[in-house]
Structure 1
Amino acid sequence: MTATAVVDLNADLGEGFGDWSMGDDAAMLEVVTTANIACGGHAGDGSTMRAACRAAAARGVAITAHVAYPDLQGFGRRFLEIAPDDLTDQVVVQAGALQAMARAEGTSVRGVKPHGALYNALARHEAQAGAVVRALGELDGLPLVAAPGAVVVPAAEAAGLEVVLEGFADRAYLPDGTLTPRTRPGAVLTDPEAVSAQALSIATEGGVRAADGTWVDLPVRSLCLHGDTPGAVELARAVRARLEEAGVTLQAAL
């Protein structure tokens, strides 16, 4: 066993819009160490962003900008063949808006974590990876949160950016180390025992078993829980308790 002594536990929050809300951000902020706050691409508006930043600051929770394709209708989970220059602008305007709200609430944005289909595209789409890296450079070199093996990782590192590698406690993995598509049965884990066991495996063993039994290496510093997963708060509490029982320290990666 190669225990990882310190792990970041992050969640995607601030995913409401106007009068409509998603998830229990207040409860999740009592559990996680980093909040990935939506900033207008797939969800979120000015008031939602401000409220999420204020709540995170009050609890000492780190903030990353949860940037996405401009796709409110599809919740950012549809791939868009967006022009690289347009994608750069989207990342800059979304993260920049969250930076302004965070500053107004006495805190700051410490990094950028792409959402949904954009996150998945950065595993293989070199043009979009380059567009995101350019945006981070224009955002004064904000660090990037990404999946191990994604093409965006070496591109970001070559540009001198800090990269935090991330694994998922509540998503099933394929043998190649990518996430099982949400269209497939079992892609999202909702059983507290299964989710907490996977989190512990990633944190202390450096990987997980895919559905076919293949071992998937995940040398990560951060673990994600989705705020919109059914029973998200219960899952987050189960994960935190399991990790702390095993002696793993929870601390923001950025």
Structure 2
Amino acid sequence: MIKSLDIVSDLGEGFGSYQIADDDSLLQIVSSANIACGFHAGDPRTMASTVQKCIANNVAIGAHPSFPDRVGFGRRGMDLSALEVETDMLYQIGALNGFAQAFGTKLQHVTPHGKLGNYVVEDSKYANAVAEAIAKFDDSLIIVTLPGELAEAAKKKGLRIAYTIFADRAYNTDGSLVSRNQPGAVLHDIDLITSRVLRMVNEGKVTSITGQDITVKGSSLLLHGDTAGSVQMATKIRDSLIANGIIIKSLNATK
């Protein structure tokens, strides 16, 4: 059976004249994009431009909502109420959806960014609030996340789920991501990362930071655009996947 995989990258994570990734090059490689919605990065012009570029490159669009933490790039923890999380989600998804509608397209998915993305895997309060917001906004949207609380909350609401696997992030033995505060959390060896991705896709296995093999599953591979050498890494990973018979397509693609 021929396998397929969605390759996704976080895009539109600049602000005004500033950007941290080569979005134009990555758009030639990925099949989907997580677009920043203004809380950790992004602004109206950046969001509009990124949506238009995705359309031009036939790249599916997803919302990448975050904690309201522009200074910390959404990577700092925040103690918010369920109502705050839900309404922050609705605000951000609605903003990106406005640009999608304006340019004649639709959102494919939602994936929480940074520390919020970590919290929803482990904390039912945050997970339920995020699932509730998505269910209220558009229950056809796919929730892209790691296995955990958000996936379970989404299942209870009948929402679609796609699990994500990470190309350049180290895993703990429980399947969670190693904190960026720890040494070795982000991988940089392109050859190692590529072989690791192929093993995750073909065998459903990855070696954790402690050296133990663990099981992983996912239909969406995340490539971080702000990692050094990200374009070269993404190109090699895509080419290696295709050479191994893996079809690259977005989550909603039928062919």
Alpha-carbon distance, 1:211 to partner: 2.3
Between the aligned partners of 2:20 and 2:106, the Cα distance in structure 1 is: 23
Q: Show the 5 A alignment for 1:128-147.
A: 128-141=126-139, 142-147=141-146
Between the aligned partners of 1:52 and 1:193, the Cα distance in structure 2 is: 30
On the 8 A contact 1:36/1:64 being kept in 2, the answer is yes
Alpha-carbon distance, 1:233 to partner: 0.5
Between the aligned partners of 1:146 and 1:135, the Cα distance in structure 2 is: 15
Q: 1:212 and 1:4, CA in 2 relative to 1: closer, same or farther beyond 3 A?
A: farther
> 2:247 aligns to what?
249
Between the aligned partners of 1:124 and 1:193, the Cα distance in structure 2 is: 31
SS at match of 1:121: helix
Between the aligned partners of 1:124 and 1:4, the Cα distance in structure 2 is: 33
Alpha-carbon distance, 1:4 to partner: 6.6
Q: Show the 5 A alignment for 1:45-194.
A: 45-141=43-139, 142-148=141-147, 150-194=148-192
Unaligned stretches of 5+ residues in structure 1:
none
Amino acid at match of 1:166: T
SS at match of 1:82: coil
On the 8 A contact 1:7/1:221 being kept in 2, the answer is yes
SS at match of 2:117: helix
Residue number among 2, 16, 20 corresponding to 1:18 in the alignment: 16
Give the TM-score, by structure 1 length: 0.96
Residue number among 23, 27, 30 corresponding to 2:28 in the alignment: 30
Between the aligned partners of 1:236 and 1:207, the Cα distance in structure 2 is: 20
On the 8 A contact 2:2/2:245 being kept in 1, the answer is no
SS at match of 1:223: strand
- CA deviations 1:13-48 (Å, max 9, x no partner) are 100011211210010000010000001111001100
Alpha-carbon distance, 1:212 to partner: 2.2
On the 8 A contact 1:202/1:218 being kept in 2, the answer is yes
Between the aligned partners of 2:192 and 2:106, the Cα distance in structure 1 is: 34
Q: CA RMSD in A?
A: 1.1
Alpha-carbon distance, 1:241 to partner: 1.0
Between the aligned partners of 1:135 and 1:218, the Cα distance in structure 2 is: 27
Query: Structure 1 runs of 4+ off > 3 angstroms?
Result: none
Between the aligned partners of 1:253 and 1:121, the Cα distance in structure 2 is: 24
SS at match of 1:216: strand
Amino acid at match of 1:249: I
Alpha-carbon distance, 1:214 to partner: 1.3
Give the TM-score, by structure 2 length: 0.96
Residue number among 228, 239, 253 corresponding to 2:237 in the alignment: 239
Between the aligned partners of 2:220 and 2:138, the Cα distance in structure 1 is: 22
Q: Give the length in aligned residue pairs.
A: 251
Unaligned stretches of 5+ residues in structure 2:
none
Between the aligned partners of 2:16 and 2:209, the Cα distance in structure 1 is: 39
> 1:207 aligns to what?
205
Between the aligned partners of 2:16 and 2:78, the Cα distance in structure 1 is: 24
On the 8 A contact 1:4/1:203 being kept in 2, the answer is no
SS at match of 1:160: coil
